[in-house]
Structure 1
Amino acid sequence: MMPLSRFTVLDLTRVRSGPTCVRQLADWGANVIKVEATDEVDTGKGLGGERHGPDFQLVHRNKRGITLNLKSEEGRATFHRLVAKADVVVENYRPDVKNRLGVDYETLSAINPRIVLGSISGFGQTGPYAKRPGFDQIAQGMGGLMSVTGLPGQGPVRAGIPVADLTAGLYCALGIMVALLEREATGKGRWVHTSLLEAMIAMMDFQATRWTMAGEVPPQAGNDHPTTVPTGLFTTTDGVVNLAGGGQQMWERIISVLGIQEEAKDPDVANDKLRSKNRAKTNAMLQAVIGTNTSAHWVAEFNKAGVPCGPVYSMDQVFADEQVKHLGVAMPVQHPQLGEITLVRAPMQIEGVECARNPTPERGQHTDEVLAEFGFTAEEIAQLRSKRAI
């Protein structure tokens, strides 16, 4: 028995934010049933990338797959029979679509008052933008991330990963867990919803509160930390390193490692406030010495002195790193068609419990099996198939 194996989750999600949410539950043993449209309804099959490609295999692992035509009366009725015995439904349709398909909270809670519905939208369930289609890069722009990413004066730059999608999924999963915990006391489910926009603004964290509390609009800071100096990227003889050294104690360790105690007597770098004001001068003082040796040398020396310092890796270098190997971040999974594939495991570790390692299902692979578990007879399943509801 895995930690979440007592929960049944009906997964209606597509693309990335919703599947990211469900993956948090599936990885720890929830009985996740991925509901996809039938071939007749989903003719494009482009959402989320190719089924056997890296994206799709990563986000839909540890699930079983069924097909349902929710546009048909029989398909919706079948789904509602599943809801009656399920614990969680997760969807990331536009708000108006869920109502049209009968997967809104009012409908589902009337069938099963214990149901927890998790919803992710682009901009929220209500308001002037509620019906707009959502996309990660749009949320990155509207949430402020692109305005602080990139080199000073460069203009807006998107982050290299879908930050809004991923964080909306994580926040929704957290909300679902909160609702399930509350249900243990009340016996009643909840509607949990977030949006790409809300999640993105929340992830702006201290950058957002620089505005809400101090009225300060954060600028682009490039590879330097927005507020902590010296924290940034420094060039070595064979590459670059990240150095993080805010605070007087760290500053003293840094100048000791670099042997620049005399240079550091300059009154322009005497304390945190002055170093922040004179960032360029501070960084240049460090760069003059860091540029004389290798990345490996400085990573070793700074860490020995208790100063955070690390290399800047490409993805192949990430997975070649000895600590990454030790942590077992690369997770082998046996796929019936692709053979052994390597995915990225869940980033938290729970002592005594292994993250599930089941491959992404094929479309409709478990339809008959799942429906039978929910009490459908062989005759009913055949009839649904004849009516093209499954």
Structure 2
Amino acid sequence: MELFPTSLRLVLEQLPAVARESLEEIRIRENRPLEISYGSRYSFVREDGTLTEQDQGAFVPSKEQCRALLERVTNHSIYAVEEELRRGYITVSGGHRIGLAGRTVLDKGAVSHLRDIAGFNVRIARAKVGFGAQVLPGLLDLKERTIRHTLIVSPPQQGKTTLIRDLARCVSSGEWHHPAARDWGSRKVGIVDERSEIAASDRGVPTFDLGPRSDVLDACPKAEGIMMMVRSLSPEVVVVDEIGRPEDADAIYEAIHAGVRVLATAHASDMSDVFARPVLSKLAADGVFGCYVFLSRSGKKVEHRIVTAEEAMRESSRRSNRSFGASPRDDPSEKQLGRWTDHPVPGTSPVAQTHVNVKARTMPTIRSPAMIAPRGVDDD
């Protein structure tokens, strides 16, 4: 709250308790109504902190208030955050990411930076310890005594980063949540935190609990960070958020052939979206990921579905009764509620999914011992 100018902070401090407890986004747009997102809802905010679904009568941030907010989030130095401005967001202490909207400045056809910034989307970061316990048992490679190469998939704001953060904590702490893994030790985890959201590091020190055996490269590009991790920090599991560029895939190939397990996230709704993205499609077709986790959210409830690589390929080769794009989070359809079905949902059009031939390839084993160590003995 201390990031906001006094006049804005006074409005936000009066929000109802139900909104404050589940607050996810604060959208501040110059000379336009103040908006918040909480749970599966959004509302405009009046000057007294009360909520309304109508934009009329809502509090309207002024140019001066937006300028003051920009000064605070950049610590009064726009030039110090020039790289973040080029990418359209600034991450502040606590892992909260502030998306920016304004006029782009181009250099040889590429975005150089933003100017005349008049829109802010403050995304609230929260750790949910225990979230990973529901998912991790289905991701284990019991033979190799570690986690399988895993891709977590969902549209934005469905819980990918929250889940991957807690999975990293579990692996680093040796909390496997599976009876067959009760004698396993923990694993060394390397986290490449390009957007400073997973660890929320403050001067290199994570502020979220990531377990005792995690190392973090903060604000580092994913592809370069993965290679730095493999070369110098000897991780057994590498964690990265939001892959999708060709260089990300190249680094992942290098990591898996070095015996490192990969835990990653990507934006997509289902397997057909995965195969519609060239980089993800190649990784999937090459059999890189042993399993996929699909997240679906309705209100505060997040449901997950774990799919093996083989099941994912069969699913991708069937016809899918869906329309392109993610459903709104307040959409009551079966897809949004997390109940995937082969039967048509009223109002959607059947779309054929891509057929992909999977290349069978044996994944390299990791360095951890294959034999189960005696109880109480660290097997690292």
User: Highest CA radius of gyration, 1 or 2?
Assistant: 1
More helix by share: 1
Shorter-chain TM-score: which interval?
under 0.3
TM-score, length basis structure 1: 0.27
More strand by share: 2
Q: Which has the higher contact order (CA 8 A, sep 6+)?
A: 1
